[in-house]
Structure 1
Amino acid sequence: MIYKLLTTTEWDDALAAGHFEGTAADRQSGFVHLSGADQVVETARRHYAGATGLTLLTVDPDRLGVALRWEPSRDGALFPHLYGPLPVPAVVAADALPADRPAADAVAALLG
């Protein structure tokens, strides 16, 4: 599985639309930034420190087809990038993160 952190409002909008076009940072990059299981806690720490109202999406990469590419990013590590909208049916779980914990800690707890 791969993962996407976004605001709960963004997820609600995606549910209504049937797909997620990406965050402002995603749209600026030209792709939806995703993370592997071994990367998502650090992504939360770096990009969502102090943020509340977040949801962690668990995404089945097999449902994304050729639009998903693993490309070098942070420190040369390969990250999953989705070139196109994230279809809601590719999301196998959506977990709202508790507001009383740092995002990285909440993600780590969810992933066990």
Structure 2
Amino acid sequence: MNTIYCLVPKGYWEQWEGREHYLPRDYEQEGFIHATKGDDLLGKVADRVYAEYEGELFVLVVDEDKSASPIKYEQAKDGLLYPHIYGPLNHDAIVDVKSMLRTNGNWGIGESIR
């Protein structure tokens, strides 16, 4: 399985859980869904984007091969390549949903919530 990750606050995810597909809040503005690849990069991105976030944070575990929308790896300002999903994320591509845990100020991937 070719796995990528999408971070999402718990409350926002609950609005999309029963729907056919998922779109993040900033999709209209960005034009794609941000994703990461690998546990280390996931933690770094979560620490940067959700540094001040106090709520529950989830990570969608996505099988790239099941995505109905195209995925392009594009270089970001930090010089790294990130997967961007250009279109809605179909729910059957989301193979798991896990909690994110903050330990000593750093986010890390937790247990499955499904």
Tell me if structure 1 keeps the 8 A contact 2:21–2:91: yes
The answer to whether residue 96 in structure 2 is matched with residue 93 in structure 1 is yes
Percent identity over paired residues: 29
Aligned to 1:27: 28
Aligned length: 107
Separation in structure 2 between the aligned mates of residue 10 and residue 31 of structure 1, nearest angstrom = 17
Aligned to 1:44: 46
Of the three residues 105, 108, 112, the one matched with 2:107 is: 105
Q: Deviations over 1:81-100 (max 9, x none)?
A: 001011111111101234x6
Normalised by the length of structure 2, the TM-score is 0.80
Separation in structure 1 between the aligned mates of residue 105 and residue 91 of structure 2, nearest angstrom = 22
For 2:50, the aligned partner's letter is: Y
For 1:34, the aligned partner's letter is: A
Q: Higher strand proportion, which one?
A: 2
Aligned to 2:4: 2
For 1:55, the aligned partner's letter is: F
Tell me if structure 1 keeps the 8 A contact 2:22–2:88: yes
> Which aligned runs of 4 or more in structure 1 are off by greater than 2 angstroms?
100-107
Separation in structure 1 between the aligned mates of residue 88 and residue 25 of structure 2, nearest angstrom = 11
Aligned to 2:83: 80
Quote the offset at 1:65 in angstroms: 4.8
For 2:28, the aligned partner's letter is: R
Normalised by the length of structure 1, the TM-score is 0.81
Of the three residues 62, 67, 77, the one matched with 1:64 is: 67
Cα distance change of structure 1 residues 14 and 40 upon mapping to structure 2, 3 Å threshold: same
